[in-house]
Amino acid sequence: MGIEYLSTRGTAPALGFGDALLTGLAADGGLYCPAEVPELDLGGLDETSSYADIALVVMWPYVEGSIGREDFTDIVEETYRVFRHQDVVPLVDLGNNIHLLDLSLGPTLAFKDVALQLVGRLLDHELAMRDERVTVLAATSGDTGSAAIEALKNRDRINIVVLHPHGRVSDVQRRQMTTVVAPNVRNVAVDGTFDDCQNLVKAAFGNPQHRAEFGLAAVNSINWARVMAQIVYYVSASLRLTRGQAPVSFSVPTGNFGNILAGWYAKQMGNSTGQLIVASNRNDVLTRFFDTGSLTANQVVPSLSPSMDIQISSNFERILWEASGRDGQTIATLLAQFQSEGDVEVPTDWVGAIRADFVAGRADDEETLVEMRRVYSEIGRQIDPHTAVGLQVGRSLRVDEREPLVVLSTASPAKFPDAAEKATGERPELPSFLSELHQRREHFERTTADLDAVVDQLRAVSSGR
Ligand SMILES: *Cc1c(COP(=O)(O)O)cnc(C)c1O
Where does the pLDDT of residue 143 fall: very low under 50, low under 70, confident under 90, or very high at 90 and above? confident
Question: What distances in angstroms separate CA 342 from CA 85, 232, 248, 296, 324, one per listed residue?
Answer: 43, 34, 35, 6, 20
CA of 78 to the centre of ligand 1 (A): 24
What pLDDT score does 337 carry?
Answer: 95
First-last CA distance in the chain: 42
User: Residue 265 above 90 pLDDT?
Assistant: yes
Atom of ligand 1 nearest to the CA of 384: 13
Residue 108 has pLDDT above 70, yes or no: yes
Q: Which CA distances in Å does 151 have to 79, 107, 113, 280, 407? A: 10, 9, 8, 27, 25
Beta bridge partners of 186: 161
**Which residues, judged by CB distance below 6 Å to any ligand atom, belong to the binding site of ligand 1?**
110, 112, 143, 221, 253-259, 307-308, 386, 410-411
Annotated catalytic residues are 112
Judge residue 167's burial from the number of C-beta atoms within 10 Å of its C-beta, 0-12 exposed, 13-18 middle, 19 or more buried. Answer: exposed
pLDDT bracket for residue 58 (50, 70, 90): very high
Share the mean pLDDT of the chain.
95
Quote the strand ranges of 60-157, DSSP E. 91-95, 98-102, 134-139
What pLDDT score was predicted for residue 228? Answer: 98
**CA–centroid distance for 10 within its chain:** 24
On whether the CB atoms of residues 318 and 350 are closer than 8 A, the answer is: no
Is the pLDDT at 160 greater than 80? The verdict is yes
Is residue 465 over pLDDT 70? no
What is the percent of the chain where pLDDT is above 90?
88
Find the 163 Cα to ligand 1 centroid distance in Å: 16
Residue range 389-411: average pLDDT?
Answer: 97
Pick the residue with more confidence: 106 or 314?
A: 106
Tell me the torsion sign for CA atoms 88, 62, 121, 180.
negative
pLDDT band per the 50, 70, 90 thresholds, residue 1: low
Ligand 1 atom at shortest distance from the alpha carbon of 112: 15
* Separation of alpha carbons 86 and 316, rounded Å: 33
Measured between alpha carbons, how far is 298 from 343 in angstroms, rounded to an integer? 9
Q: Other C-beta atoms within 10 Å of 327: how many?
A: 17
Confidence of residue 221 (pLDDT cuts 50, 70, 90): confident
Q: Which domains does the chain have, with CATH numbers?
A: 91-109+224-424 (3.40.50.1100)
pLDDT in tens, 330-354: 999 999 999 899 999 999 999 999 9
Residue 185 has pLDDT above 90, yes or no: yes
Of residues 211 and 274, more confidently modeled: 274
Nearest to 140 by CA among 109, 120, 110, 162: 162
CA of 255 to the centre of ligand 1 (A): 6
Give the mean pLDDT of 434-453: 95
Banded model confidence at residue 21, pLDDT cuts 50, 70, 90: very high
